[in-house]
Structure 1
């Protein structure tokens, strides 16, 4: 029975990580991040959204508060998505860059390194349903190696196409599932 529960939990983890890829709304917002925010135009509701600190609200309902340079998110800031997701961290030229924390509306959380708007480098992904992946992220989770811990059991794992594949501890714990996202 315990092996079945572990298999179900790992299956949910695989499905969850695959489901936590960029949403169309997130990608739209990322595309709009490259558009300069007008200092006095629609959207900038407070401060200096050109070269300073301000609050910018997008047509989608997404909201960014933080530092701007040349009308782009640049420096430290908080982006709150209309779908309930939230990113707090650094930006460079309108994209997530450096250290940051992305919390998904479902309770999942990624804390780690970003490059060009993608999870890239060392990071920790905590699943709301339980379990933690701690390791490398390549190309927003399409690859990387690390360790997955669930119920005090740790396994060597790797990311492949936003799914976690772990070295099984026994035959009944084996889980190799790709969601085909």
Structure 2
């Protein structure tokens, strides 16, 4: 077998739910899940990745997909859902770390034009509940992270559509917050 053939075998993608199937899975969980759509999942995972504290994947995955999903055997729907969420998480993390200039929050088109931030922001805010004390400093104007967090207000607080032209600045604010908390997040992993 050639080297490229061996790499192709090693790099085979794990089976997972498609984007549509994952969204259906999240919706089927109803109120038990903190998010019910892919843009909400993107906001949720963004907060998990950039926050001031490392969140154990068992905690956020358990909340997101249910405790039973964490015990799922291979090829079950729960297992495939975990693989799909892990794939999105890893792709988001890799983009933020290695290709930050490509990072953009996943926002759907708003019916009135522009982009709709509502479910992304709900997902983000739901994930901040995983470590409320760690996120509390965001609201304190005396803390340096407050100014960076303020830059996210159009994304987190507004229900109005966001102009496409504003997305790069919002992406930069997200990445700035990630960088601001990097050392603190890494310390919390120990």
**TM-score, length-normalised on structure 1?**
0.22
The higher-RCO structure (CA 8 Å, 6+ apart) is 2
Bigger helix share = 2
Bigger strand share = 1
